[in-house]
Chains A and B, each alone.
Chain A
């Protein structure tokens, strides 16, 4: 028998069966929230949540639908999860990107609902703006190769980079919008058409997808400015006018951005109709009218509020005309108001206490001799 190291390390000769050592069980991987690619009705968000929380996905689907009727919170939450929660990898065959397809389908669906104006689906302006910004941001993110990553640090880095790029694009969009509102709309629209034609032309030679982002930066702000009909050529700041004589009264009061006060209380308006136009891009306008004047109006506001003697018209595409009866022998001021974004308020000095002028058209008499139905005369 040897006593050297070889003998010490020799395996003992026994009759017991040899048992292979079992490798240690690997530690269970931490549970990770992913979207389900195999059990997805839309984007696999509800299925992923159900798998993560060990609950029936139907509960989450019902929750998303229910919250969609609570100011659209469900839609926003679903879209955020769709964008930022990674898929489990089971994408559609054929190289199709399910998330992009879903995002596009959702955008077209929102567009259709808004266009049809269905009373069942109420989407406020805030949700629409969020949808536009979110979808544009998602296009930007994907255009730069963004994909949901499993590594939180990598995802955080991607989001930070995306945030910087989004800020740059937002700045460019604001610049385009300002240029359009300052009269450069024709040039910007022409550039958009040219960019679109270049995209079409290059599509047959492999494509130039990088042009999509600049094209959207041209089209989207210009579209907003055009829809609101914003005109900033009247300058920026706060303006107050208080003409004391008819010779000081202007035919038109213009302002680009700011607050405009037109105080006509010192003015002795002649009998008959006096026209006054107000053109403001973005801001607030207050017109104070003499106590004895009747007022008619023709108002157009892209987005905002018109408050004519406490009768409110608000929302998108506000347009109305109030002519009423114009009594002979009394001064009548006709206000032709055109605002892009903002508030137009017409008030009469101390004519009516608050509790009696909630709806002047609905009352036939008041403290000061009453309101003639269908007129804005005190």
Chain B
């Protein structure tokens, strides 16, 4: 049984959430601004880094 890769899980979650927010912006359901758009983008990258850092490198083989 293969183990759960938490880095992929966290990355998938934040990318999905960000994608949905951006999709809503593009269809006009909300109006994204730098005021919260930039923190969102930085938080996406930060969450992925944090998850990768806490889980550590994946062992190959």
Binding site for B on A (CB under 8 A): 94-108, 110-112, 114-115, 117, 128, 131-132, 135-136, 138-139, 142, 185-186, 188-193, 195-209, 211-212, 215-216, 218-220, 222-224, 226-229, 302-303, 316-317
Contacts and interface: CB of A to CB of B under 8 A. Distances in A.
Given A97-B57, A104-B46, A135-B42, A222 B22 contact: yes
A128 B19 contact: no
Given A103-B46, A226-B22, 6 more contacts: A96-B56, A103-B49, A114-B42, A193-B15, A196-B11, A200-B12
A228 B31 CA distance: 10
A104 B47 contact: yes
Q: Classify the interface of chain B: helix, strand, loop or mixed.
A: helix
Contact of A212 (B4, B11, B53, B58): B11
A207 B35 CA distance: 33
Given A104-B49, A199-B11, A200-B16, A227 B57 contact: no
Interface residues of B, number: 51
A228 B16 contact: no
B43 A196 contact: no
Interface of B: 2-9, 11-20, 22-23, 25-27, 31-58
Given A110-B42, A111-B43, A206-B3, A101 B53 contact: yes
B57 A108 contact: no
Nearest to A113: B39
Contact of B50 (A104, A215, A220): A104
> Which 5 A/B pairs are nearest by Cβ-Cβ distance?
A207-B5, A107-B46, A100-B53, A104-B50, A199-B12
A205 B39 contact: no
A138 to B, nearest CB: 7
Nearest to A115: B39
Nearest to B35: A317
B50 A105 contact: yes
A101 B35 CA distance: 25
A82 to B, nearest CB: 12
22 contacts: A94-B56, A98-B53, A103-B53, A104-B52, A107-B45, A132-B42, A135-B49, A139-B49, A196-B13, A196-B14, A196-B16, A197-B12, A197-B16, A200-B12, A202-B12, A203-B6, A203-B12, A212-B7, A220-B44, A227-B38, A303-B34, A316-B35
Contacts of A224: 37, 41
Given A193-B23, A199-B11, A135 B46 contact: yes
A132 B44 CA distance: 10
Contact of A108 (B19, B46, B56, B58): B46
Residue among B19, B37, B44, B58 with max Cβ neighbours from chain A (10 Å): B19
A223 B5 CA distance: 26
Nearest to A205: B2
A322 B54 CA distance: 51
Contact of A220 (B20, B35, B41): B41
B2 A219 contact: no
Contacts of B8: 199-200, 202-203, 207-209, 211-212
B15 A209 contact: no
